[in-house]
Amino acid sequence: MGRQLSTPTAILLGSAMIAAAVYLGLRHGPAAVAPDARAVDGAEAIQAGPAASAPPVQRAGATAPGVSRDEIARQAARALDAHRPALVERCYRPAASAPPAQPEPRAVRYVFNITFDAQGRQIARGIIEDRETARPEVTACLVGALPPVEIAPPGANVRVDVPFSLP
């Protein structure tokens, strides 16, 4: 009759084998290959084989020649400002006048992190709420009520931080 392993011993041995496989797989996997310097700085993608005809990939922080990040941020701020009156009516006023009425803080401040694609369409958006002026009900409404914003095509994916406040 053969000797059997106990359950804890079998679990320990199995875990050790999985850990070794993961370690060796990560150690010798594709991530160990040094990236092409052009891809790291966002100038262009690594091109080889059939992908050689694909357009260059630019990182989110890159801008097209001649388009400043400040100008893109100004355009985004104007696009957000166009929605301000509707957001004040839909989100800020109901929260400020809801019983019990809380007139303070008078203004709520945010910073929007917006990423635009090369055509100027919003592809990602985050919101940072100023803790000192926080009104969670206004923030929740703002997130749902603000439609995607657009700017003039920058020619590359670009992420900008845009201050915004209500009312």
Q: Mind listing the pLDDT tens digit for each residue in 113-158?
A: 999 999 999 999 999 998 888 888 889 999 999 999 999 999 999 9
Mean pLDDT of 60-78: 77
Listing from the earlier edge strand, what are the strands of the sheet with 158-166? 122-129, 108-116, 158-166
Question: The pTM is what?
Answer: 0.58
C-alpha closest to that of 164 among 127, 117, 120: 127
Asked whether the beta carbons of 162 and 76 are under 8 A apart, the reply is yes
Mean pLDDT of 49-77: 63
Distance of alpha carbon 12 from its chain centroid, rounded?
Answer: 40
Q: Mind listing the pLDDT tens digit for each residue in 93-114?
A: 887 777 665 666 788 999 999 9
47: burial class by Cβ within 10 Å (0-12, 13-18, 19+)? middle
Tokens standing for residue 117: 């694609």
